[in-house]
Structure 1
Amino acid sequence: MKGRRIVKHPRLIDSFNRNLTYLRVSITDRCNLRCMYCVPPRALIPRLAHSEVLRYEEILRIVRIGVQLGITKIRVTGGEPLVRKGVYDFLAELGRIEGLKDISLTTNGVLLKDNLARIQNAGIKRLNVSLDSLYPERFERITGYDCFSRVWEGIEAAHSMGFSPIKINTVAMKGINDDELINIAKLSFTYPFHMRFIEYMPIGDHHLDRNVRILAPEIIERISPLGELVPIRRDIDGGPAERYRFRDAQGEIGIIQPLSNHFCHLCNRLRLTAGGQLRPCLLSDRQEDLKGIIRKGCLDGDIVKLFLQAVRFKPMEHHVDTGEPEEIRATMSSIGG
């Protein structure tokens, strides 16, 4: 392969002195659910043609170069990554890249239970699982499919097999699941899970009414009857969540506040979309076309240049505010959750 030899390169440090060490990699824009906050009812979301999706060898090449530039953490996402053929061999190849310290997987959990051994054998220890309701009928309303039991059985099986941490992601939505936020938070007493509540973000041409949003102060108020929330010190690579623990709880609570309390100044990530675009910010449509140059036969040095260009254009903060929201045209499924 051309240009595999890389000499010393600068680190991925942006204009605001943030050292970017985390790459989120979407391997598909396909999903086996239609969650209302990602694909609202009646919305027709175009999908990439198979030929337009990055091949696994292209992703691995990009990741290897990213590691040379200082990337140490990878999260594999989709769409739903487990629907893509060959994903388990890909995860194993990813785990063999020297210099990666942390590889994790985000999934909706539908295919989790039957494939946990393959995921574990590939070297994955950390899981993020979406779970927006504990009621099967409501789960079906939110996701479009009657899969709650399969998802919950997958989460429990992952716990029994020693995956850790298991992070459970819940998008908080007024009038949809806000009445059960306290019950979801209560799981942190029974399990060592990281229960994470996420403020809904209006992304793409099709999104829910902004009135469904519940901001962090109200989320905390909803779960406060469970007891005092004790703050947990944020790790350097711990992600965007404000972390807490209820006294005597096994697990913890995380609040992700993209709207009410921007964490942009702490952001250390880039995103690689399934279509081969390198995005410096989730909430900005600025991106660099890695697939285009790779398929023209570029050298590794050309990929390095686009990494550095993406870093140079990483904004200090996003402008998707509660008062004056900015429209993001790309959908979450195409960017990678």
Structure 2
Amino acid sequence: MPKEGIDLKARDDILRFQEMEHLLGLFLDLGVTKVRITGGEPFVRKGLPDFLIRINQYEKLETINLTTNAYFLEDTIPLFQKIKSGSINISLDSLKRDVFYKITRRDDFERVWNSIDKILLTDLNVKLNMVVLKGVNDNEIVDFAMLAKSNKVEVRFIEQMPFNGGHFSNDTLSAEEIIKTLQNSFPEMIEHLKMCSTARIFEIPGFRGKVGIIAGHSRTFCSTCSRLRLTPDGTFKTCLYDHGDVNLKDMLRSGKSDQEIKTAIRDAVSKRAKDGFESEQRTQQIIHFSKNHLSMAQIGG
């Protein structure tokens, strides 16, 4: 979230739960089998648990996944044990209280870590996402990786991207530099090939969990990316860097048929850029990231 905050949208300007359920049904008809609820923090929105329970009944939906900052996580663990949970991705950028505060501007590290501690005791598939900020938390890379030694967790290191709410540093620590840091401490680290994954996954002998690297800035995974994104205001994006030319909320509310909406989805996917760089070039003709401070709170992680 940018320090100055973002322009809040009126309630009528964002998708209602019923509309999200309707659109999800259309995506399932088109072959989607996995959904991820992101944010901002998803559980800020009232009614989310009931929404998850309802979409859990969709027969074609194989897994429900969530990205969260873990602030509300402790109370929702029983919910995830009841639904078709895929992965619970937890955003945590530091293991140090003062650095956590610097990044989040919230003094909630103990609450967040206690929730993480509890969910690691379950059989749920947990991933910890750390955005590596050069000169801020990059000295914690090995400490984060060590969390995978005794815990069945996937610790993932993410390149700093233009959507972090305002740059902490001008220099991005590349995926290759992060891998080199890990290899210096874990020379026996072995890459585990996984198809259609945005992360490069590595196994370390003797570790219960794994480590992963997501090259979100250098975008080396674009050729295998199959993700589609729907923002809170209904904008349909085929890439994180995509501006989005189709608004599915507006189509729904203007009375467009399900077939017309499916056609619009197919057309957008058919025009998908070859990679994130092309998407960014298209977008910069319309809007400039650095001037508008777009953040994951607006786009969805």
Question: Would the TM-score normalized by the shorter structure come out above 0.5?
Answer: yes
1:118-163 per-residue CA deviation (whole Å, 9 max, x = no partner) reads: 3333443520000100011111111110111111111121122321
In the alignment, is residue 221 of structure 1 matched against residue 159 of structure 2?
Answer: no
1:158-208 per-residue CA deviation (whole Å, 9 max, x = no partner) reads: 1223212x000000011110111110011111211100000011138x630
- Residue 54 of structure 2 aligns with an amino acid whose one-letter code is E
Q: Which residue of 1 aligns with 2:193?
A: 233
Q: Which residue of 2 aligns with 1:75?
A: 36
- Residue 270 of structure 2 aligns with an amino acid whose one-letter code is R
2:123 to 158, 162, 165: 162
Q: Which residue of 1 aligns with 2:208?
A: 250
CA contact (8 A) 1:40 1:208 kept: no
Offset, 1:60: 0.5
Rounded Cα–Cα distance in structure 2 between residues aligned with 1:163 and 1:132: 21
SS at match of 2:76: helix
1:35-94 per-residue CA deviation (whole Å, 9 max, x = no partner) reads: xxxx343x3421221111100010000000110010011111111101111100100111
When residues 149 and 52 of structure 1 are mapped into structure 2, their CA distance, relative to the original with a 3 A threshold, is same
In the alignment, is residue 116 of structure 1 matched against residue 77 of structure 2?
Answer: yes
Q: Which residue of 1 aligns with 2:218?
A: 260
Runs of 4+ that moved beyond 6 A: none
Rounded Cα–Cα distance in structure 1 between residues aligned with 2:129 and 2:252: 34
In the alignment, is residue 140 of structure 1 matched against residue 63 of structure 2?
Answer: no
CA contact (8 A) 2:219 2:276 kept: no
Q: Which residue of 1 aligns with 2:296?
A: 332
In the alignment, is residue 288 of structure 1 matched against residue 246 of structure 2?
Answer: yes
CA contact (8 A) 1:175 1:212 kept: no
Which range is displaced more, 183-192 or 121-130?
A: 121-130
CA contact (8 A) 1:113 1:158 kept: yes
Q: How does 1:26-45 map to 2 (within 5 A)?
A: 39-41=1-3, 43-45=4-6
Offset, 1:102: 1.7
1:90-132 per-residue CA deviation (whole Å, 9 max, x = no partner) reads: 0011111111112111100011012211333344352000010
CA contact (8 A) 2:62 2:84 kept: no
SS at match of 1:269: coil
Instruction: Name the structure, 1 or 2, with higher relative contact order (CA <8 Å, separation 6+).
Output: 1
Rounded Cα–Cα distance in structure 1 between residues aligned with 2:45 and 2:85: 17
Rounded Cα–Cα distance in structure 1 between residues aligned with 2:150 and 2:130: 17
Structure 1 stretches lacking a partner, 5+ long: 1-38
Q: Greater helix share, 1 or 2?
A: 2
Rounded Cα–Cα distance in structure 2 between residues aligned with 1:179 and 1:260: 21
1:126 to 72, 87, 101: 87
2:268 to 303, 307, 310: 310
Q: How does 1:89-108 map to 2 (within 5 A)?
A: 89-108=50-69
- Residue 181 of structure 1 aligns with an amino acid whose one-letter code is I
Offset, 1:260: 3.1
Residues matched between the structures, number: 291
Q: Which residue of 2 aligns with 1:196?
A: 156
Rounded Cα–Cα distance in structure 1 between residues aligned with 2:117 and 2:66: 16
CA contact (8 A) 2:195 2:224 kept: no
Q: TM-score, normalised by structure 1?
A: 0.81
Structure 2 stretches lacking a partner, 5+ long: none
CA contact (8 A) 1:171 1:197 kept: yes
CA contact (8 A) 1:202 1:210 kept: no
SS at match of 1:316: coil
SS at match of 2:64: strand
CA contact (8 A) 1:171 1:199 kept: yes
In the alignment, is residue 297 of structure 1 matched against residue 255 of structure 2?
Answer: yes
Q: TM-score, normalised by structure 2?
A: 0.91
